[in-house]
């Protein structure tokens, strides 16, 4: 029990000093106050002890509430209260007696008035009993105040524990709409109200948006930010408690009419951000019993503080997700496979089918053919698109650092390990890890990679803690891995683990008119960066681009367009503008065997050249023949002479 102040003790001693016979009763009252769990239990025991010693058959402490008298605690046979006597006692603030009843006012420090009322066995004892109750009244005030303070502290502790548990759940909620519903449900449950709403302030539009709002479309209520109690709380930044019986004009009945609802009591507190900026207001409507109390106001204020923090976190997260989603969409646009040649259309179809699976993918193709773009397409077409895409070139990693690059290392694991560093698997998290030039990874690195792929667990170099990984691995190579397996240069088990789905990228020279599509795309992009108008290709330039064998594939074409965008000044690009970059008829053919007769070498060149022209024409024999300067029937005859397979068009 909290100790009374010295002034209070002095007053009690002074009052009791002249009435030694009441000391035992006063002591018992104070003892009961120190042990009672709540005011009702305290009053029942304390009043019962007093009844037997004063010859009283009924005592109670009563309080006026909403036009009626409420018994806070009593002892003895229940009797009908003398309402007029009680009212007169409070009005005059003096003890009164009538018809065997005695009423003594109990004025508490917080000006909450109550009355100690007693009914006597014998009306002749009225004077003695009245004196005793007057002397004991201050004792009851002190004792009851002590019990109520302790009871209030216990309630506050329970509420704080409940609020902490509620806030913990809120901070784990990611969606704002779900969070708002959770907040309303928790507040109504904890503070025993019928409804709750969180009003967020749309300051630019001078509007308060309330959610959840039962009875409205989409559960959302929009009102001007200057209307009603909520508007006043937003403007003043101070809480408000309203009872319609006492302040009928304070309630916004237009909102009640809109919601088909009747507001009797209302509690509203402001919500501020961590920086102190006004975010909105937290409102409770219709206390299930009685009116909202200062304790309710305090508790809702604490809930509002946690609610504001949780809302800011959820909103920040949604903004980050939105920004991340936007970046992912932009990256997906940059990872598009351009072109309409049959090999690219087939490749695009396979990518869509395998992207959203967890199948291992092996991408094969020449240098510069776009293997990383394909890996990015697989990533951005999958559900992992908002997770990281991490690429690593295995050919560029020294053998001694391969394990550290892939799996990370702990501080001090080796000479230059000055700090702990996560590896590519950890950085990729639940995204995609692209291992380019996988054929250049050492055999020991291959063994460790295989173990990670099978167990989904990595251990940093120099560490011992297993780290689970959900990263999807997409590998690529420009080498013949099957041949490397036969030559014991690549692990067979890793090859089959990576080679669940194989994507073979066609070289640029076999993609026909895709060359022009890619050229115009790259040229447009680089001209935009160079802030110049895009010059068109002449027919001769287009023919020259189609005839070039593109040994560097798409990378070579992209670099060429970059040079043209920055170095050419003409309004159009002609074949002559390409002469300084491309050889007049493409790259000089490389003759592997210089011991063969001229006729054999010539035939081999013609076969290669005709195949290349057919590929560039996307299989259209008429177009290929036209580019070769032949009639289509003459092209077929030439192919038969060279021993080439001929599939005549219908």
The per-residue pLDDT for range 233-244, each reduced to its tens digit, is: 988 899 999 888
Mean pLDDT score, 567-583: 76
Strands 56-65 and 113-120: antiparallel
What's the pLDDT score for residue 112? 63
Higher-confidence residue of 298 and 400: namely 298
What's the pLDDT score for residue 514? 92
In a domain? residue 163: no
Q: Would you list the DSSP string of 114-142?
A: EEEEEEES-GGGHHHHHHHHHHHHHHHHH
Per-residue pLDDT reduced to its tens digit, 412-451: 878 777 888 888 998 888 889 999 999 999 888 899 999 9
Pair (520, 636) in one structural domain: no
Give CA angle at 436 (433, 441), nearest 5°.
100
| CB hemisphere CA count around 610 (13 angstroms) | 25
Higher-confidence residue of 357 and 140: namely 357
Q: What is the CATH number of the domain that holds 209?
A: 3.30.450.40
What's the pLDDT score for residue 239? 93
Pair (372, 458) in one structural domain: yes
Higher-confidence residue of 305 and 648: namely 305
Pair (55, 130) in one structural domain: yes
Mean pLDDT score, 126-153: 82
332 pLDDT higher than 60: no
In a domain? residue 98: yes
Higher-confidence residue of 260 and 324: namely 260
Pair (132, 21) in one structural domain: yes
382 pLDDT higher than 80: yes
In a domain? residue 1: no
Whole-number Å distance between alpha carbons of 477 and 344: 18
Find where tokens 């032949």 sit: 630
Whole-number Å distance between alpha carbons of 434 and 436: 6
In a domain? residue 423: yes
Q: Which two tokens stand for residue 112?
A: 């909450």
Higher-confidence residue of 578 and 96: namely 96
> What kind and span of H or E run contains 261?
none
What's the pLDDT score for residue 450? 92
Mean pLDDT score, 266-290: 88
* 3-class SS string, 421-433: EECHHHHHCCCEE
Length of the chain: 650
Report the domain count for the chain: 5
Give the C-alpha distances (Å, rounded to integers) separating 166 from 171, 182, 184, 188.
Answer: 9, 9, 11, 12
Find where tokens 């207001």 sit: 281
CA torsion 298-300-305-310 (nearest 10°) is 160
Single residue among 97, 123, 154 that ends a domain in this structure: 154
Whole-number Å distance between alpha carbons of 515 and 537: 12
Strands 207-211 and 361-364: unpaired
Q: Which two tokens stand for residue 56?
A: 């009283």
Q: Are 249 and 232 in contact (CB under 8 A)?
A: no
In a domain? residue 649: no
Pair (535, 637) in one structural domain: no
> What kind and span of H or E run contains 328?
helix 294-334
Pair (226, 273) in one structural domain: yes
Q: Are 233 and 263 in contact (CB under 8 A)?
A: no
Give the C-alpha distances (Å, rounded to integers) separating 449 from 86, 402, 445, 465, 468.
Answer: 88, 10, 6, 17, 14
Mean pLDDT for the chain overall: 82
Single residue among 504, 529, 558 that ends a domain in this structure: 504
Give the C-alpha distances (Å, rounded to integers) separating 615 from 381, 510, 511, 553, 610.
Answer: 29, 5, 6, 14, 9
Strands of the sheet containing 96-98, edge to edge, are: 68-76, 56-65, 113-120, 101-107, 96-98
Closest by alpha carbon to 250, among 291, 296, 311, 305? 291
Whole-number Å distance between alpha carbons of 487 and 475: 20
Q: Are 279 and 240 in contact (CB under 8 A)?
A: no
Pair (543, 457) in one structural domain: no
CB-CB neighbours of 233 under 10 Å? 23
25 pLDDT higher than 90: no
In a domain? residue 165: no
Cα R_g (the chain), whole angstroms: 44
- Among the residue ranges 180-184, 456-460, 513-517, 553-557, the one predicted with the least confidence is 180-184
Pair (575, 609) in one structural domain: no
What's the pLDDT score for residue 15? 61
Whole-number Å distance between alpha carbons of 181 and 554: 53
- Among the residue ranges 81-90, 251-260, 530-539, 582-591, the one predicted with the least confidence is 582-591
501 pLDDT higher than 80: yes
Pair (255, 288) in one structural domain: yes
Residue 537: band (very low, low, confident or very high) from pLDDT cuts 50, 70, 90? very high
Closest by alpha carbon to 259, among 282, 235, 285? 285
Q: Would you list the DSSP string of 552-596?
A: THHHHHHHHHHHHHHH--SSSB-HHHHHTTS-BTBSPP--S-TTS
In a domain? residue 416: yes
Find where tokens 């008119």 sit: 513
What's the pLDDT score for residue 526? 92
Closest by alpha carbon to 616, among 510, 540, 536? 510
Whole-number Å distance between alpha carbons of 119 and 103: 9
What's the pLDDT score for residue 270? 92
Single residue among 154, 184, 201 that ends a domain in this structure: 154
- Distance from CA of residue 52 to its chain's centroid? 66
- Distance from CA of residue 385 to its chain's centroid? 16
pTM over 0.85: no
Pair (41, 122) in one structural domain: yes
CB-CB neighbours of 118 under 10 Å? 28
Per-residue pLDDT reduced to its tens digit, 87-128: 888 888 889 988 889 999 987 665 567 899 888 877 777 888
CA quadruple 341, 343, 348, 349: dihedral positive or negative?
positive
Whole-number Å distance between alpha carbons of 273 and 267: 20
3-class secondary structure, 491:
coil
Residue 404 domain boundaries: 339-504
What's the pLDDT score for residue 7? 56
Pair (498, 514) in one structural domain: no
Q: Would you list the DSSP string of 43-92?
A: HHHHHHHHHHHHTEEEEEEEEEETTEEEEEEEEES-----HHHHHHHHHH
CA torsion 220-226-228-233 (nearest 10°) is 100
Higher-confidence residue of 54 and 118: namely 118
Higher-confidence residue of 11 and 380: namely 380
Q: What is the CATH number of the domain that holds 603?
A: 1.10.10
Pair (248, 352) in one structural domain: no
Mean pLDDT score, 609-618: 77
Beta strands in 329-471 (DSSP E): 361-364, 389-393, 408-409, 421-422, 432-436, 457-458, 467-468
| Listed ranges 7-16, 165-174, 287-296, 515-524; the one with the highest mean pLDDT | 515-524
CB-CB neighbours of 640 under 10 Å? 11
Per-residue pLDDT reduced to its tens digit, 207-223: 888 887 665 666 778 88
Phi-psi region of 605 (alpha: psi -120 to 50; beta: other; left: phi over 0): alpha
In a domain? residue 593: no
Beta strands in 135-232 (DSSP E): 193-202, 207-211, 221-224
Q: What is the CATH number of the domain that holds 518?
A: 1.10.8.60
Q: What is the CATH number of the domain that holds 396?
A: 3.40.50.300
Per-residue pLDDT reduced to its tens digit, 338-352: 888 898 999 989 998
% of the chain residues with pLDDT over 70: 88
Burial of residue 418 (CB within 10 Å: 0-12, 13-18, 19+) is: exposed
């Amino acid at each position: 029990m909290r100790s009374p102040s010295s002034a209070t003790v002095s007053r009690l001693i002074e009052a009791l000093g002249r009435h030694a016979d009441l000391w035992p009763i006063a002591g018992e009252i104070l003892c009961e106050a120190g042990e009672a769990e709540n005011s009702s239990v305290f009053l029942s025991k304390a009043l019962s002890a007093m009844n037997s010693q004063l010859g009283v058959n009924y005592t109670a402490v009563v309080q006026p509430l909403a036009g009626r008298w409420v018994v806070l605690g009593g002892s003895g046979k229940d009797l009908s209260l003398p309402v007029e006597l009680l009212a007169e006692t409070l009005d005059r603030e003096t003890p009164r007696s009538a018809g065997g009843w005695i009423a003594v006012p109990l004025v508490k420090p917080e000006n909450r008035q109550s009355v100690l009322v007693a009914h006597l066995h014998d009306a002749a004892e009225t004077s003695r009993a009245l004196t005793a109750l007057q002397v004991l009244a201050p004792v009851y005030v002190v004792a009851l105040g002590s019990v109520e303070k302790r009871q209030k502290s216990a309630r506050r502790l329970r509420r704080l524990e409940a609020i902490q548990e509620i806030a913990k759940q809120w901070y784990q909620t990611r969606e704002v709409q779900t969070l708002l519903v959770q907040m309303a449900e928790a507040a109504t449950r904890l503070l025993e109200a019928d409804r709750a709403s969180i009003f967020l302030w749309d300051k630019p539009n001078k509007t308060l948006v309330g959610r959840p709002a039962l009875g409205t479309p989409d559960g959302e209520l929009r009102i001007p930010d200057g209307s009603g109690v909520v508007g006043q709380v937003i403007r003043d930044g101070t809480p408000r408690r309203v009872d319609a019986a006492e302040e009928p004009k304070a309630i916004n009945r237009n909102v009640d009419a809109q919601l088909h609802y009747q507001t009797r009591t209302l509690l509203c507190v402001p919500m501020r951000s961590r920086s102190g900026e006004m975010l909105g207001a937290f409102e409770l409507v219709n206390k299930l019993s009685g009116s909202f109390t200062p304790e309710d106001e305090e508790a809702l204020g604490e809930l509002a503080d946690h609610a504001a923090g949780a809302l800011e976190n959820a909103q920040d997260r949604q903004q980050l997700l939105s920004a991340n989603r936007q970046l992912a969409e932009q990256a997906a646009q940059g990872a598009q496979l351009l072109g309409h040649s049959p090999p690219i259309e087939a490749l695009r179809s396979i990518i869509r089918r395998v992207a959203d699976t967890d199948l291992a993918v092996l991408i094969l193709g020449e240098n510069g053919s776009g293997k990383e773009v394909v890996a990015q397409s697989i990533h951005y077409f999958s559900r992992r698109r908002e997770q990281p895409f991490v690429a690593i070139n295995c050919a560029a990693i020294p053998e001694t650092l391969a394990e550290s690059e892939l799996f990370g290392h702990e501080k001090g694991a080796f000479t230059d390990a000055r700090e702990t560093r996560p590896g590519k698997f950890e950085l990729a998290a639940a995204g995609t890890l692209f291992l380019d030039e996988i054929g250049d990874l050492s055999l020991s690195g291959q063994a460790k990679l295989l173990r990670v792929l099978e167990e989904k667990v990595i251990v940093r170099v120099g560490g011992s803690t297993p780290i689970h990984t959900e990263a999807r691995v997409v590998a690529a190579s420009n080498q013949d891995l099957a041949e490397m397996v036969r030559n014991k240069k690549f692990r067979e088990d890793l090859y089959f683990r990576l080679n669940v789905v194989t994507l073979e990228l066609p070289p640029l020279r076999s993609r026909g008119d895709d060359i022009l599509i890619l050229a115009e795309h790259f040229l447009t992009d680089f001209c935009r960066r160079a802030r110049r108008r895009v010059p068109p290709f002449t027919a001769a330039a287009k023919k020259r681009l189609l005839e070039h064998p593109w040994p560097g594939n798409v990378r070579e074409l992209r670099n060429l367009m970059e040079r043209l965008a920055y170095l050419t000044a003409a309004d159009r690009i002609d074949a002559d503008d390409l002469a300084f970059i491309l050889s007049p008829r493409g790259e000089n053919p490389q003759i592997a065997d210089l011991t063969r007769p001229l006729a054999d070498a010539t035939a081999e060149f013609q076969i290669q050249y005709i195949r290349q022209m057919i590929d560039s024409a996307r299989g259209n024999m008429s177009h290929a023949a036209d580019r070769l300067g032949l009639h289509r029937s003459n092209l077929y005859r030439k192919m038969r002479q060279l021993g080439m397979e001929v599939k005549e068009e219908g």
